[in-house]
Amino acid sequence: MLGLMMDQQLLISSIADHAARYHGDTEIVSLNSDGSQFRYDYSGAHGNMLKLAGALEKLGLEKTDRVATLAWNNHRHFEIYFAVSGNGQICHTLNPRLFPEQLIYIINHAEDKALFFDQTFLPLVEGLRKHLGTIKHFVLMEDHDSELAKTHPWLSFYGDLLADSDENYSWPDNIDERDACSLCYTSGTTGNPKGVLFSHRSTLIHAMMSATPDVMNFSARDCLLPVVPMFHVNAWGTPYAAPMVGAKLVLPGPGLDGESLTKLFLAEGVTISAGVPTIWGGLLDYLDANNIKLPDMKRTVVGGSACPPSMLDRFRDDYDIEVLHAWGMTELSPLGTVNNIKNKHLKMPEDELRQLRTLQGRPPFGVELGIFDDEAKQLPNDGKSQGDLYCRGPWVMSEYFGGEGGDPLVDGWFPTGDVATLDEDGFMCIRDRSKDIIKSGGEWISSVELENLAMGHPDIGDAAVIAASHKKWSERPLLIVVPKDGIQIDEKVLLEYYQGKVAKWWIPDAVIVTKEIPRNATGKIRKNVLREEYGNSLR
Ligand code: ADP
């Protein structure tokens, strides 16, 4: 017997409709690429979303056509998210930090039909254009510019699309919640990037759960500033969760340095934010140097790479800001775990609690995690057994776009490529990417833990630990550091810092001082590059 409830589809457009209906006057603040500010509200955004959806139809775009974006976090990007998906097309966000060859590969692989981009990326698009055979419409996300229109006859202007569109356009009614709504390629340290294709249903369930108190905890009383780019796994779903709960939204544009962010945080009364550790390092240094506090800011989600415990302490002790350490990946929409404690932890001694808060956290309803050994046998959730982390749930990918890479699942689980431990409460600790873990004499050493410790050293600005080949032990840890400005590193003194903090045999064999740690387009350390350069330096 079926339940007798209304069979309403979970659609991206319904989030925009809800926000306009009940949070119409809640503000959206956006910084344009030229630094100028734009302000309106959910009602204004909704009007533009419908106009843009109408314009997409006029351009001849059909259901499931991919519409790409190369854009910062700004109000037009936000409108595109909803107009494209709401209209049945697929919003394909491109990471501008990728190499041009990777962008060309991704756009052609996705067979994108239109490309919307910010003024910043005009030179990039000019260079790419002749390689992009499937794109019929190049839309500059600006008002009409007659000079540019003359010199670039192939350009369309966002402002023109809205102006020429039908005021009374309404969302099409042929969309099923299981239809695709957005597409994101993983940066792929090896091999070609692969596409993860999200559905309306997965996106909505993910956004609903992400807003709950034990996950990211968003409400209509919050002012949310997503630092994580909208081209990085849909800014972790925040552009959907904010209008869903009616939070004020601040979109920071391209300026993600400490000073620009601080100004916005203070001026707009930002209460919650989200981003990768490298961005927060820059913000904290700026706040320290200028003796500024952020009185409205209550918490920030930190993920994408391990958040060094020293960063958690700085946020909490110096600024009274709670860090929600989170783990996820593109294939998980991206939310996998967030660190929020339980009732039974409230009476925990301070030092134990601090230790618990450094972990990647526990899965919300909707994510199931398991630790598996090399034979794909599940290991106990005892907080000690270390193995391959697998997961499953309604917002976990089942296969890559276009069937690339074949069937990625193992007995219905998605293998994440991370090595972790899991305790009986679901608290998970990432030990490493499986390809980065250091195997010394048959034992495993976590490069993440050694990096976290190095980042807590007052003289170190950035750090990476890699497995270097070793005659006797097969691999040994090698510490690569970028000292803070003007500081000379003494290798022996630095390595002594590890004494008592980790087992003796974990202490790196040597230190290499360098000017910069190479990172990929999503801010992760490019360990393959470091291994190529320094992997044989212990031989
Ligand atoms: P890509 O796969 O494109 O590099 P993702 O954002 O999907 O980008 O990366 C996911 C990976 O990032 C995870 O599998 C994990 O290794 C790493 N990661 C994400 N968050 C954390 C975290 N809090 N601690 C440690 N590693 C993390």
Q: How far apart are the CA of 321 and the centre of ligand 1, in A?
A: 23
Tens of pLDDT, residues 420-461: 999 999 999 999 998 899 999 888 899 999 999 999 999 999
Q: Does the residue 125 lie in any domain? A: yes
Q: How far apart are the CA of 157 and the centre of ligand 1, in A?
A: 36
What CATH number should be reported for the domain holding residue 97?
3.40.50.12780
The catalytic site residues sit at 186, 331, 439, 444
> Could you tell me if 227 and 304 are in contact, meaning their C-beta atoms sit under 8 angstroms apart?
no
311: confidence class by pLDDT, cuts 50, 70, 90: very high
Residue 342's contacts (CB-CB under 8 Å, 6 or more residues apart) are: 425
Closest CA to 145 of 153, 154, 157: 157
Question: Any idea which residue has 């989170």 for tokens?
Answer: 326
How confident is the model at residue 393, as a pLDDT?
98
Q: Does the residue 231 lie in any domain? A: no
How confident is the model at residue 496, as a pLDDT?
94
User: Do the strands 460-470 and 335-338 form a parallel or antiparallel pair, or are they unpaired?
Assistant: unpaired
d(CA 265, CA 272): 9
Q: Does the residue 422 lie in any domain? A: no
- Relative to the CA of 433, which ligand 1 atom is closest? 16
For 484, the domain range is 438-534
Domain count, the chain: 2
The preferred substitution site among 389, 430, 434, 435 for testing ligand 1, maximizing ligand atoms within 8 Å of CB, is: 430
Q: Does the residue 35 lie in any domain? A: no
Q: How far apart are the CA of 78 and the centre of ligand 1, in A?
A: 24
In the predicted structure, residue 181 carries a pLDDT above the cut 80: yes
Q: Does the residue 103 lie in any domain? A: yes
Q: Does the residue 505 lie in any domain? A: yes
Closest CA to 337 of 362, 358, 316: 362
Top-confidence range, 387-401, 478-492, 516-530: 387-401
183, 200, 217 - which closes a domain: 200
522: confidence class by pLDDT, cuts 50, 70, 90: confident
165, 185, 200 - which closes a domain: 200
Q: How far apart are the CA of 141 and the centre of ligand 1, in A?
A: 30
200, 221, 255 - which closes a domain: 200
How confident is the model at residue 189, as a pLDDT?
60
Exposed (0-12), middle (13-18) or buried (19+): which is 433, by Cβ within 10 Å?
middle
Supply the residue whose CA is at minimum distance from atom 5 of ligand 1. Answer: 329
> Could you tell me if 244 and 222 are in contact, meaning their C-beta atoms sit under 8 angstroms apart?
no
The preferred substitution site among 95, 327, 434 for testing ligand 1, maximizing ligand atoms within 8 Å of CB, is: 327
Exposed (0-12), middle (13-18) or buried (19+): which is 345, by Cβ within 10 Å?
middle
> Could you tell me if 522 and 232 are in contact, meaning their C-beta atoms sit under 8 angstroms apart?
yes
How confident is the model at residue 158, as a pLDDT?
98
d(CA 36, CA 76): 14
Window from 52-61, 142-151, 305-314, 520-529 with minimum mean pLDDT: 520-529
- Relative to the CA of 430, which ligand 1 atom is closest? 25
Q: Does the residue 496 lie in any domain? A: yes
> What's the token pair of residue 125?
């698009």
CA dihedral 422, 426, 432, 435 (to 10 degrees): 80
Supply the residue whose CA is at minimum distance from atom 19 of ligand 1. Answer: 304
Three-state DSSP at 159 gives: helix
In the predicted structure, residue 166 carries a pLDDT above the cut 90: no
For 369-385, b/e burial (b = at least 16 CB within 10 A) is bbbbeeeeeebebeeeb
Supply the residue whose CA is at minimum distance from atom 24 of ligand 1. Answer: 306
How confident is the model at residue 442, as a pLDDT?
80
- Relative to the CA of 448, which ligand 1 atom is closest? 25
The preferred substitution site among 102, 418, 526 for testing ligand 1, maximizing ligand atoms within 8 Å of CB, is: 418
Half-sphere exposure of 507 (CA within 13 A, CB side): 13
Tens of pLDDT, residues 81-133: 999 999 999 999 999 998 899 999 999 999 999 999 999 999 999 999 999 99
Tens of pLDDT, residues 527-539: 989 999 999 999 8
d(CA 21, CA 16): 9
Average pLDDT over residues 517-535: 90
Query: What's the whole-number average pLDDT of the chain?
Result: 95
Average pLDDT over residues 178-191: 86
- Relative to the CA of 306, which ligand 1 atom is closest? 24
Chain-centre distance for alpha carbon 189: 16
d(CA 145, CA 362): 50
Share of the chain above pLDDT 90, in %: 91
- Residue 234 region, left (φ>0) first, then alpha (ψ -120 to 50), else beta? left
Q: How far apart are the CA of 134 and the centre of ligand 1, in A?
A: 31
> What's the token pair of residue 259?
């000073």
190: confidence class by pLDDT, cuts 50, 70, 90: low
Residue 311's contacts (CB-CB under 8 Å, 6 or more residues apart) are: 277, 280, 281, 284, 302, 323, 455
For the whole prediction, is pTM greater than 0.75? yes
Supply the residue whose CA is at minimum distance from atom 4 of ligand 1. Answer: 187
In the predicted structure, residue 187 carries a pLDDT above the cut 90: no
Window from 80-89, 160-169, 333-342 with minimum mean pLDDT: 160-169
Q: How far apart are the CA of 305 and the centre of ligand 1, in A?
A: 6
> Could you tell me if 206 and 15 are in contact, meaning their C-beta atoms sit under 8 angstroms apart?
no
Q: Which residues' Cβ are closer than 6 Å to ligand 1?
A: 186-187, 233, 303-306, 325-330, 334, 360, 416-418, 430, 433, 522, 524
How confident is the model at residue 475, as a pLDDT?
92
Average pLDDT over residues 19-43: 97
How confident is the model at residue 521, as a pLDDT?
83
- Residue 303 region, left (φ>0) first, then alpha (ψ -120 to 50), else beta? beta
Kindly state the greatest CA–CA separation across the chain. Answer: 74
- Relative to the CA of 330, which ligand 1 atom is closest? 7
d(CA 261, CA 279): 10
Supply the residue whose CA is at minimum distance from atom 26 of ligand 1. Answer: 305
d(CA 501, CA 453): 8
Q: How many other β-carbons are positioned within 10 Å of the β-carbon of residue 6?
A: 5
Sign of CA dihedral 379, 384, 388, 389: positive
Q: How far apart are the CA of 327 and the centre of ligand 1, in A?
A: 7
Tens of pLDDT, residues 410-422: 999 999 999 999 9
In the predicted structure, residue 140 carries a pLDDT above the cut 70: yes
The preferred substitution site among 339, 389, 524, 525 for testing ligand 1, maximizing ligand atoms within 8 Å of CB, is: 524
Three-state DSSP at 326 gives: strand
Give the neighbor-by-neighbor strand order of the sheet with 114-117.
155-157, 137-140, 114-117, 66-70, 90-93, 180-185, 195-199
Give the neighbor-by-neighbor strand order of the sheet with 368-372.
378-379, 368-372, 387-392, 414-422, 428-433
> Could you tell me if 501 and 453 are in contact, meaning their C-beta atoms sit under 8 angstroms apart?
yes
What CATH number should be reported for the domain holding residue 487?
3.30.300.30
How confident is the model at residue 188, as a pLDDT?
63
Q: Does the residue 348 lie in any domain? A: no
Average pLDDT over residues 352-371: 97
Q: How far apart are the CA of 137 and the centre of ligand 1, in A?
A: 33
